[in-house]
Structure 1
C-alpha cells in the first residue's frame, strides 16, 4: 500500500462538500461548498443551537481547469444556499449540463460553456424550489437511460423521483425545461444520505437508519436519447418497494455504487466498504468487506481504470471522511472469491474528506482531485 503526496494544493474560500469532473471536458471540474454562518444563539460548549434560533447556510460553485499539474480557478458563482451534491449529466445530448442540490430544498441548473478559443464559464440557468426551505436535499442521481429523470434523497428520509418537461412550443433542451412535482417512492426512518440508480434504472438508497433499500421502477417506452419529452413523474413512472435490509450495516449507509443490477459497493459510517450481492428477490450476501477507516462517505469507479476493469476486477476511489482518500481494488478469483485490497492512500487532508473524483483522461492516468471540509483544502494527486 503506497502513501501518496500531492502534486499541488490550494486553500479555498469556503469549505468544499463535493467535486466532479466534466465527463465530456475532462480538463474541467467543479467544486461545491457549504458554509454554516455563525449564530449568536449557539451554545458552543454543548454544540447546540438555542430553541427558536436558526442558522443560515450559504455556498458557492467554482469552475476549475486542470492543465497538466496546474489547477486554475476560472469562475466562482456564489449561491444563497449550501451545495450538498452536484453532478454533470452523463447523457451526450446534454453535454455541459450540470445540476446541484441545496440545503434549502432547491435544485439549481447550470451550463458549462467551453467553445473553441473562449475561456470556459459556468452559466446559471434556473433555480427550482422543490421542497420547503427547511428540507435538505442530501444527494441526487441522474437516471442512466432517461435524460429527464433524477432521483433525490432528503433530510426527511424521503426518496423521491422528479422529472422535467418541455412545453411543446419550446426547443427540446434542458435549458428550456421545467420540473414536475417530485414523487415519493419510499422513505427511511432517519436522514436518507444517498441514492443510486442500477444500470437498468431501479433505485438503491441508504440512510442514517442503517438501512439499504431497493425500489423497482417501471416506465413505458423510453424517450429518444437525443431529446426531452413531455412527461409527469406522478403518472408516467410506477414503483414497487422490493426490500429493506437493516442487518448488513451497523451504522448509517452513506454511499452506494452499483456495479450491476444485482451487485453494489456500499460505504458506511461504520468505516467499512462492502461488496454486496443484492438480487431483487432472494437472499442478499456480503461478498467481501474491508475496514477503510474514517467513515466511507463517497465511492466512485476510477475512470482511468475503466479499460482495465472487468466483471472480475474493479478499481475504486473512496472518500473516507477523517481518514482521507483511498484507492481500492476489488478482485475475484476462482479459489478465493472476492477480495478487497487498498492500493494507495492519500492522507494530507486534515479534516473531513467529503469529495474526490478522478480525471477521465488517457493522457493523465490516475490523477485525482480531493478536498477536505474544515481546512478548505483542495489537492491534486496521482496514483498510477
Structure 2
C-alpha cells in the first residue's frame, strides 16, 4: 500500500494522511507535545502505486460542528483529521513505501490584534507493525516546514503528493527513497503555485493526474492543470456562497466535478461547458454544511455525502433530485471524512467528529454500522484504510489509521468485525 499521509494542525488543527501495515494485534499511537496548542484534522493513506510507480488497477475546527477494536496510538504536535482512498482496488504502492505515513500540520499563531500567521509542516513516519508479537511503533523519518496545510492527496499514477495550504497555494512533493537507506523516505519539492488570495481547503486529483481541483474558503472552485514543471489555473469560478469543504472528480467521467460547501449545497459541474453553470445543485437535502464526497469504486452510480448534520447520505447519480432515503444513516456526529474500503465491497470508514469513528456497510440493503471506534479523546477528523499483502488475502488483516483534533493523536488499529461481512 502507499504511504500514510497526515495533516497536523499545530495550533488549532492537525491533519493526517496515512498508510498502514500488516495485521495488528494491538494498537499503537503517536503524540508529540508542542509549546503551542495543536490540533489535528485529517488523515489519508496513499495506495495508488505498484512497482516503479506504475498505476495498479475543513482545516481548523468546523465553524458549526454538531455533534471496539485493537489499536495503537501516538500523539503529535498537531491534531488528526480524516483519511481517504480512491478508485478501484490498486495493486498497492512500491513495497519500499508501504510502511510510510505522511502527516501534515496546521498551526495558528496569534500575533496581536487581527494579525495571524498560519504555519505548518509535512512529516513522514515509518509505521512498523511487524508480526503479532513484534513491538508496534511510529518512527519519524522526514519533515519539511510549510504554510498551514488544510488538505493533501496522493496522485493516482505517480508518487506525488499535492498539498493545499492556508496561503492559497498548491504545492507538489515527490516521495523518494532516502539515499543509502532501505526504509528511509523523503519528500522533494516539485513545484508550487498561487491559486487564490483565499485559503485552499481541499484538493483532489482526476484519474489521469493531469488536473487537480481545489476548494477555496471564499466559495470558489479551481481546476489546476499540470504543465510539465508548473501548475496553471485553467478554471476558477464562484461555486458556493460559503467555504468549499470538499471537491471530487467523478472517477468514470472526469469531466464531472462534485463539490460540497458550508452553504449546505451539494453540486456537480461539467468542465466541458462553462463550469459556472451547475449540472445540478441540491440545496434541500443537507441541513448543515456538506463536508465530504466519495464514489463507490465498484458501483460508479453510487455517491456518498457526509455532512455536519450527522447524516451519511447515499445518492444514485442517475437520479440526483434527492438521496436514496432508505439508505441514509445518522452516525451521531458530523461526518467529516468517508473512505471506501479498497478491497471489501460497500464498506466505508467514517470520521464522525464528536462521535468517534464508524465502519459502515452501505450495500444493496439498508446502511448499517458494523463497528465503532471511540478511543480518541477529541474530534474525529482523519481516517483511512491500509492496503497490505495480508489484507489482499484475508480481510481480517485490514488496518486503519485515525487521528483526532485537539488531543493531537494518531492511532493505527485493526477492526475486529470485518471478517463477519
**TM over 0.5, yes or no?**
yes
1:121 Cα shift?
2.0
Q: Would you identify which runs of 4 or more consecutive aligned residues in structure 1 move more than 6 Å? A: none
What do the CA deviations read for 1:36-92 (whole angstroms, capped 9, x no partner)? 113433xxxxxxxxxxx121111111111222262323334243411111111111x
> Is the alpha carbon distance of 1:55 and 1:154 closer, same or farther for their aligned partners in structure 2, counting shifts above 3 Å?
same
Give the corresponding residue for 1:97: 160
Does the aligned pair in 1 maintain the 2:170–2:195 contact within 8 Å?
no
Name the CA distance, whole Å, in 1 between partners of 2:212 and 2:148.
20
Structure 1: segments with no counterpart, 5+ residues: 42-52, 167-176, 219-236, 333-337
Moved more, 70-79 or 188-197: 70-79
Matching residue within 26, 41, 49 for 1:17: 41
Does the aligned pair in 1 maintain the 2:177–2:186 contact within 8 Å?
no
Name the CA distance, whole Å, in 2 between partners of 1:347 and 1:6.
15
Does the aligned pair in 2 maintain the 1:210–1:246 contact within 8 Å?
yes
Name the CA distance, whole Å, in 2 between partners of 1:282 and 1:85.
27
Residues matched between the structures, number: 324
Does the aligned pair in 1 maintain the 2:176–2:188 contact within 8 Å?
no
3-state DSSP of counterpart to 2:375: coil
Does the aligned pair in 2 maintain the 1:161–1:185 contact within 8 Å?
no
Name the CA distance, whole Å, in 2 between partners of 1:123 and 1:275.
37
Matching residue within 118, 124, 133 for 2:188: 124
1:103 Cα shift?
0.7
Does the aligned pair in 1 maintain the 2:191–2:230 contact within 8 Å?
no
Name the CA distance, whole Å, in 2 between partners of 1:372 and 1:90.
26
2:398 is the counterpart of 1:366: yes
Moved more, 61-70 or 320-329: 61-70
Moved more, 358-367 or 314-323: 358-367
Does the aligned pair in 2 maintain the 1:17–1:31 contact within 8 Å?
no
2:147 is the counterpart of 1:81: yes
Give the corresponding residue for 1:197: 249
2:363 is the counterpart of 1:328: no
Specify which structure has the bigger relative contact order, considering alpha-carbon pairs within 8 angstroms and separated by 6 or more residues: 2
1:193 Cα shift?
0.6
Matching residue within 231, 250, 255 for 2:292: 255
TM-score by length of 2: 0.72
Matching residue within 102, 112, 121 for 1:60: 121
> Is the alpha carbon distance of 1:323 and 1:127 closer, same or farther for their aligned partners in structure 2, counting shifts above 3 Å?
farther
Give the corresponding residue for 1:339: 366
1:282 Cα shift?
6.3
2:101 is the counterpart of 1:29: yes
Name the CA distance, whole Å, in 1 between partners of 2:374 and 2:214.
31
Give the corresponding residue for 1:284: 322
Give the corresponding residue for 2:306: 267
Does the aligned pair in 1 maintain the 2:147–2:167 contact within 8 Å?
yes
> Is the alpha carbon distance of 1:185 and 1:26 closer, same or farther for their aligned partners in structure 2, counting shifts above 3 Å?
farther
3-state DSSP of counterpart to 2:152: strand
> Is the alpha carbon distance of 1:320 and 1:102 closer, same or farther for their aligned partners in structure 2, counting shifts above 3 Å?
same
2:109 is the counterpart of 1:72: no
Does the aligned pair in 1 maintain the 2:40–2:407 contact within 8 Å?
no
Give the corresponding residue for 1:112: 175
Give the corresponding residue for 1:49: none
Name the CA distance, whole Å, in 2 between partners of 1:164 and 1:264.
27
Matching residue within 178, 181, 191 for 2:230: 178
1:250 Cα shift?
0.5
What do the CA deviations read for 1:144-193 (whole angstroms, capped 9, x no partner)? 1x322011110010111110112xxxxxxxxxx10113412551011111
Give the corresponding residue for 1:319: 351
Moved more, 151-160 or 78-87: 78-87
Matching residue within 265, 270, 293 for 1:216: 270
Name the CA distance, whole Å, in 2 between partners of 1:341 and 1:362.
28
Give the corresponding residue for 1:224: none
3-state DSSP of counterpart to 2:362: strand
Does the aligned pair in 1 maintain the 2:351–2:380 contact within 8 Å?
yes
| RMSD of aligned Cα (Å) | 2.3
2:58 is the counterpart of 1:7: no
1:131 Cα shift?
3.3
Name the CA distance, whole Å, in 2 between partners of 1:382 and 1:264.
26
> Is the alpha carbon distance of 1:117 and 1:265 closer, same or farther for their aligned partners in structure 2, counting shifts above 3 Å?
same
Between Structure 1 and Structure 2, which shows a larger proportion of strand residues? 1
